[in-house]
Amino acid sequence: MKKFLVILSLVILLAWGTWFVFSEYLYVVPILDYHHVDEAIRSDAPTVLAENFAKQMEFISSRGYKVLTLDEVIEAIRSGRKLPRNSLAITFDDGYMDNYVYAYPILKKYHFPATIFFITNKSVSEGFIGREQMLQMQEDNISFGSHSKSHQYLPELKDDQLRDEIFNSKKELEEKIDSEVKYFCYCLGGYSDKIIDMVKEAGYRGAFTTNRGKGRFNKNIYALKRVKISNADTNPLRMWGKLSGFFNLFRSEKDPN
């Protein structure tokens, strides 16, 4: 009996050690993707109700997750340094005013950094964040990246149009926020090798997609996959799954363009 217990203990220890080493390789810091955060569901883009967003941020805070800046995520990938498994980053697409009205106070409450990828042609449009709000949000570690000028599907554009969307959006946004724009987000997630080359040439330090591309482990800093957070993700089990760092393993791979 004693010999059996020793063998059993060794098997369990070996299995645990194998899983620990293997899971370290499989783990990917989740980069969360939001659009609208509002009091009612919107038809033009995915929406998380403000009350549910508050619950999601409380979940992240109460369970001790470390919310990172995109700078921290990118630097870790560049250097090959492993980040703690309870890490994550938060991003928003498009730059809706409701991000300022409803999401920003909650992020500020928990001192969570985030990045908003902004469509620069919307800078004076009703329903989108304006310069005054941007400058205020930057004081609380909310940064801004480019989501192109006009939110067109980039793989369908000609070279001169691509340059306008990628290069000029960066320039326009930097003038608006008085800060460097470090990161780009592909519209609808679509990109190609040529588009990546232009993003690099424009001076961006990294770029983000949806679930496009073949790499599950976010090794390419110019094609970083994100995890869409929906209004239904208030269930603790669902939220835990998306924040686990293993969510990409169970997602179908999609062509980048």
State mean pLDDT over 246-250: 90
Between these two residues, 86 and 20, which has the higher pLDDT value? Answer: 86
Quick check: 23 pLDDT over 60?
Answer: no
Ranking 27-31, 80-84, 179-183, 200-204 by mean pLDDT, the lowest is 80-84
State mean pLDDT over 178-188: 97
Whether 174 and 181 have beta carbons less than 8 Å apart is answered as yes
Structure confidence at residue 143 (pLDDT): 98
The Cα–Cα gap between 50 and 164 comes to: 34
The Cα–Cα gap between 185 and 189 comes to: 8
Residues shown for the chain: 257
Structure confidence at residue 5 (pLDDT): 47
Q: What is the pLDDT of residues 119-167, one digit of tens each?
A: 999 988 899 999 999 999 999 999 999 999 999 999 999 999 999 999 9
Q: CA distances (Å), 137 to each of 21, 151, 234, in order?
A: 40, 23, 26
Q: Which residues pair with 213 in a beta bridge?
A: 254
Of 200, 207, 212, nearest to 185 by C-alpha is 207
Residue ranges of domains in the chain, CATH in brackets: 29-250 (3.20.20.370)
CA geometry: angle 9, 10, 14, nearest 5 deg: 120
Structure confidence at residue 208 (pLDDT): 98
Structure confidence at residue 191 (pLDDT): 98
Quick check: 6 pLDDT over 70?
Answer: no
The Cα–Cα gap between 23 and 89 comes to: 20
Quick check: 16 pLDDT over 60?
Answer: no
Quick check: 7 pLDDT over 80?
Answer: no
In this structure, what token pair is assigned to residue 67? Answer: 């919310």
- 230's CB contacts (< 8 A; 6+ apart) are 46, 48
Q: What is the pLDDT of residues 194-204, one digit of tens each?
A: 999 999 999 99
State mean pLDDT over 236-251: 93
What is the pTM assigned to this prediction?
Answer: 0.91
Structure confidence at residue 249 (pLDDT): 87
Place of tokens 């306008």: 164
Quick check: 40 pLDDT over 90?
Answer: yes
